[in-house]
Amino acid sequence: MSTADIALNGYRDVQHRRDRVVEAIDILVKVTGSLQMRERVEGLEVLRERVCSDAFKVIVLGEFKRGKSIMINALLGEKVLPSHSKPTTATINEVKWGERPYAVLHPRPASGGRQEPREIPIEQLGDHVRVVDDSEINPYERVEVFYPLALCRDGVVIIDSPGLNDVATREQVTISYLQDVDAVLMVFAADMLGSMSEIAAIDEMLIPLGHDHIFLVVNRINLIDPEERDEVIEHGTLRLASKSKLNDVFFVDAKGALQARMAKDAQAFLATGFPELERALERFLTHDRGKLKMLAPATELLHVLDELKVREIPDREAMLTQTLGELEQRAHDAQEPLDGLDDKRDLILAQLDSSLDVLSLDVASAARVFFEEAAVQLPEWAKEFQSEKELKFLGSNRDIKEALGQEVSEDLARRLGSAFAQWRQETLRPMLEERLGAIANATDAAVKDFLAQADLVRVEVVGSDEQREESFGFRHVDHTALERVLATGGALSLSGPSAGAKMSLGGPSMAMGMAGAVVLSHGVLLIPAALARIFGMDKAKRKVQQKAGKTAASELRELVAERSDEVSNAALAQPRALREKLAGGLESELRRVHEQIDSVLAAKRSGEDGVAEQRGRLAQARGEIDQAQKLVTDLLFELAAM
């Protein structure tokens, strides 16, 4: 048995379910295409592309000297990423499946315009991702690494990130990626287990971003004396396990796992602790995340089936029974109310924009109060600081002061981050829930009125509104007005760790009340570089701390407006994204009414042959829809049983 065979392989089951979703989509693309529903065809093709390209994204995090790169290489089974005794990751590196090894560099946007990505040999990768100087900005924003690896072939993308304790610009890149990954592996070192900054990263960054199933991995357990190993494992479990809903900590030897894999030594691999980690990761991805990844598109397909079976086909059949003159007159009479719906759509969006703009200003104002009050607290926090290090052994007086200044800087950043996390939980979150809930309820009422008027126009054109569900043998899905339109706009497949909540859209407050995750890195909250100014020749430790506190307070006051706007933008990011989906959904509702009328009119104007052809298409569509419905419902039953 090879090391690759030790873990279960649920990834192939996910691919099988994905293939069935794609099959259902292809059937519905054919049906809607035959009915000349161009708007729906385009939406289904976008959904198909999303399903086919939706890989499992796993980001690996860790501070410097935790063995992050070796951990990734052990997962991959090859020495893909460079690893050195100094920080090496200056960019986001995405490891993906490729038929041959190579890398693609994606340059940062430049003032002269965006540069094209360029391919490099895999051997040159280290020259482009390595940190040379903390002040240096790497010219590449991300690197794609393609490699013929079994794990990547099964639809897993491994993401190597800059360290959590890296400079602010690189740490912020990591935060932005965290909002769109499926799983987080947090790497600790057995001989430096669970520092305050690592615990703060979980509490103040990962959990607020929705990552509550964190894979807590303690590396280099093999370096701990065998007589002390059980004690370290017990201590590590007590300190870390409660930070993740997995309620587990994985103690591994990543270097040994990599060596065993490369030597194809299954027995040695078993002793590294890696099989337990890989089985847990695979189960989480294929069972928990994989279920949500399939539920989202399946739910969208239910909306399409609902539309086709309850409205579209029965409406077209009813219109075909009318004379051409009757249908043309009804279509003419419908034009004015359809124009009125255009105005109503614009009004709904304008009112929503206004409400979100007001909320954005209020959030920024609340954040400004927090930062201003925090600036007052910083000098006091600096005075309270107690060093945990024996600074007297560092050498010169200046060396001691610099080391102390760095310690104070890190402590102030930690305390400011903790205060911000508390403010976010106790002040910002209740504010957003109340205000966004009210906005969602008002928007749902307006959309409900919009849809009622649109349905009235449709009924006037069709000439009948009989209960078609029973005659067609299909009980339509019960959705709120906002759910119906957001689904039309593709909102059910927004990605990220909270995708399951957004997928269900259980009500207006759920649909619009999902506030964006508000996380600022420690480097952004407090610029450590600014504290370099305090390093004079002051003789007293107290003076160093006082200067550190005053300098930090001054820096924060200068950044209050900028940081407050960042908080506001982050808080309103998801509602504004849903606003765009709502705009697309409302537009699609109107286009479909026009498409439906135009298609039937074209058939009527072409005479009896055109009408007969249209009826034949509708009859064929019924059977194809039944086929797609069986695929979707069977899949949903299977997912429900997981």
Are the beta carbons of 350 and 343 closer than 8 angstroms? no
- Tens digits of residue pLDDT in 220-242: 999 999 999 999 999 999 999 99
Q: 81: left (phi > 0), else alpha (psi -120 to 50), else beta?
A: beta
Beta strands in 1-63 (DSSP E): 56-62
Report, as an integer, the average pLDDT of 497-507.
42
Tokens 């309103």 appear where?
572
Q: What is the chain's alpha carbon radius of gyration, rounded to the nearest angstrom? A: 29
Report, as an integer, the average pLDDT of 494-502.
48
Q: How far is the C-alpha of 135 from the C-alpha of 529, rounded, in Å?
A: 10
* Pairing relationship of beta strands 102-107 and 140-147 according to DSSP bridges: antiparallel
Compute CA distances 630 → 474, 492, 526, 636, 639, whole Å.
12, 21, 56, 10, 14
Q: How far is the C-alpha of 173 from the C-alpha of 343, rounded, in Å?
A: 41
**Position 196 confidence tier, pLDDT thresholds 50, 70, 90:** confident
Q: How far is the C-alpha of 515 from the C-alpha of 353, rounded, in Å?
A: 15
**Position 246 confidence tier, pLDDT thresholds 50, 70, 90:** very high
Beta strands in 82-190 (DSSP E): 92-97, 102-107, 118-120, 140-147, 156-160, 183-189
Q: How far is the C-alpha of 479 from the C-alpha of 484, rounded, in Å?
A: 6
| Listed range (69-73, 190-194, 390-394) with the worst mean pLDDT | 390-394
* pLDDT exceeds 50 at position 78: yes
What the block records as the tokens of 257 is 């796992």
Residue 210 CB neighbour total at 10 angstroms:
17
At residue 154, the pLDDT reads 86
| Listed range (117-121, 141-145, 175-179, 443-447) with the worst mean pLDDT | 175-179
Q: How far is the C-alpha of 375 from the C-alpha of 355, rounded, in Å?
A: 30
Q: How far is the C-alpha of 159 from the C-alpha of 217, rounded, in Å?
A: 16
At residue 535, the pLDDT reads 39
Are the beta carbons of 25 and 48 closer than 8 angstroms? yes
Q: How far is the C-alpha of 187 from the C-alpha of 218, rounded, in Å?
A: 6
Residue, of 543 and 541, whose pLDDT is higher: 543
Q: How far is the C-alpha of 3 from the C-alpha of 494, rounded, in Å?
A: 35
Are the beta carbons of 118 and 106 closer than 8 angstroms? no
- Tens digits of residue pLDDT in 392-425: 444 556 666 667 777 777 788 888 888 888 898 8
pTM comes to: 0.78
- Tens digits of residue pLDDT in 204-213: 888 888 888 9
CA-based nearest residue to 618, from 323, 330, 318? 318
Helix intervals (H) in 156-209: 168-178, 196-201
CA-based nearest residue to 217, from 285, 286, 281, 288? 281
What residues contact 325, with CB distance under 8 A and at least 6 apart? Answer: none
Tokens 């600074």 appear where?
391
* pLDDT exceeds 80 at position 187: yes
At residue 87, the pLDDT reads 52
Cross-strand pairs, 296? none
What residues contact 14, with CB distance under 8 A and at least 6 apart? Answer: 155, 285, 286, 290, 293, 294
At residue 173, the pLDDT reads 62
Beta strands in 539-611 (DSSP E): none
Residue 122 is classified by DSSP as G
Q: State the chain's mean pLDDT as an integer.
A: 81
| Listed range (51-65, 378-392, 452-466, 488-502) with the worst mean pLDDT | 488-502
Q: Considering the chain, what percentage of its residues have pLDDT values greater than 70?
A: 79
CA-based nearest residue to 371, from 424, 410, 437? 424
CA-based nearest residue to 214, from 222, 205, 223? 205
